[in-house]
Amino acid sequence: MTARPHAGFIPSLDGLRGIAILLVMLHHFTHFEQTTGFDGPIGSVLAFFWTGVDLFFVLSGFLITGILLDTRGRPRYFTTFYARRTLRIFPLYYLVVFVAFFVLPKFPAVYDVLAGQVGLTPAEKVDVQQWPYWLYLTNISVAAGGWAHGVLDIGWSLAIEEQFYLVWPLVVWLCAPRLMALLCAVILVAELIARVYARAIDYPSLSIFVLTWFRLDGLAVGALLALAQRRGLLPLLDRWVPFVITACAAGLVACAIQGGHPWWWNRWMQQYGYSLIAITAGAMLVSAISRPADSLWPRLLSARWLRAFGKYSYCLYLIHVPVMRAVGEYVFAPGEYTTLGMPRWIAQVLFYVAATVPAFALAWLSWRAFEAPILSLKARFQYQRAG
């Protein structure tokens, strides 16, 4: 048995993953932004960092499609892929779900803090159904009932990726590369049309944000780039990256202005912005792979500290929100995040540091003590040589 062939480890992709998790963390950790004067534009940029999750989608589409293309036709194609994905995704996720449902409720005061329920009356607290969280249907649960579980609802994007993993190996196995490329192009067009229509009929904006059939742009862009890489087309695409990023940035600014704000529920952002964000993330990926390792963008992405955030991004994503709430409650002030008598932005920077340090420490510990030992079992599920 031999390992899957690949183009070699690309450190800059860990850096992209690090950017994605830092964007998400900064978005959630920002509580003190002002909306007037010079602080208004800064607050708008920070509010826009919810887009970090879309960078995750593009990376997943690219990496998973690449694995599947490289191993298509191998013996035990499906079982090996799912075994390796299970070892990477399931253990930590289900540990967090178990702790959230069976351990934290035994400590009600702590649970209320971590779940963002401080100050709520018993009648205001939502009694959520557990089964969607165990079945990676968190996004469907959120679409049906709103943000109900303050610890686990963050898994809505993981649910989208798991649903993608469930279907995409069969698509790659059945379709020739040209047909796959056509399918991805159709998905990109269909997604835009679906969201335009959904907003036209006043479909709930939260459902558009979290349901898989509205959020396939990033995964499809990543899959297209994986196909392009195997045809040697990424250097050609890289020539267009400055123009693409400039055009998409202008489009996103226009969406924010037209909709009045940069948040994900902005009508224009949902109709057109999601597609622009996916294309922008794809352009960032193209340059990360295509440009020489000693050029500026790959060197920035290869910084050790940024790659460390990328390495631990899975645990960071799962735990950063409850850690943030614990820091806000126990370090800053009970029940609210205050400025501690300091200028607003100084307090905000202090909060970034205070929330990031314990989150990173827990993610590092998780990797060392839990994730890495489990991932070593992947050696038992190597891709076999093609017959």
Q: Give me the numbers of helices (H) and strands (E) for the chain, helices first please.
A: 20, 0
Residue-wise pLDDT for 151-176, tens only, equals 999 999 999 999 999 999 999 999 99
Report residue 352: phi and psi, to 5°.
-55, -50
Could you tell me the two tokens for 114?
Answer: 């971590």
DSSP state of 240: T
Cβ 357 vs Cβ 322: under 8 Å = no
- Domain assignment of residue 356, given as a range: 21-380
Round to whole Å and give the CA distance between 194 and 203: 11
Would you say residue 165 lies in a domain? yes
10 Å CB burial of residue 280 (0-12, 13-18, 19+) is buried
pTM over 0.85: yes
Cβ 12 vs Cβ 307: under 8 Å = no
What confidence score (pLDDT) does residue 365 get?
Answer: 98
From the list 107, 30, 115, 38, the residue with the least C-alpha distance to 337 is 30
What confidence score (pLDDT) does residue 42 get?
Answer: 73
Q: Can you list the residues of the chain whose pLDDT is less than 50?
A: 1-7, 334-335, 387
Residue-wise pLDDT for 217-234, tens only, equals 999 999 999 999 999 999
SS3 2: coil
What confidence score (pLDDT) does residue 114 get?
Answer: 94
How many structural domains comprise the chain?
Answer: 1
Round to whole Å and give the CA distance between 39 and 36: 6
Residue pointed to by tokens 């400590």 = 107
Would you say residue 147 lies in a domain? yes
What confidence score (pLDDT) does residue 117 get?
Answer: 85
Q: Which amino acid is at 315?
A: C
Q: Can you point out the beta strands (E) in 211-253?
A: none
Radius of gyration of the chain (CA): 21
Round to whole Å and give the CA distance between 321 and 175: 40
Q: Which amino acid is at 342?
A: M
Cβ 31 vs Cβ 351: under 8 Å = yes
Would you say residue 5 lies in a domain? no
Quickly list H helices, 260-295: 267-268, 274-290
Could you tell me the two tokens for 244?
Answer: 């693409």
Q: Which amino acid is at 205?
A: S
Round to whole Å and give the CA distance between 371 and 55: 23
10 Å CB burial of residue 86 (0-12, 13-18, 19+) is middle
Would you say residue 308 lies in a domain? yes
Round to whole Å and give the CA distance between 321 and 307: 21
Cβ 299 vs Cβ 12: under 8 Å = no
Round to whole Å and give the CA distance between 69 and 56: 20
Round to whole Å and give the CA distance between 275 and 285: 15
Would you say residue 10 lies in a domain? no
Round to whole Å and give the CA distance between 298 and 296: 6
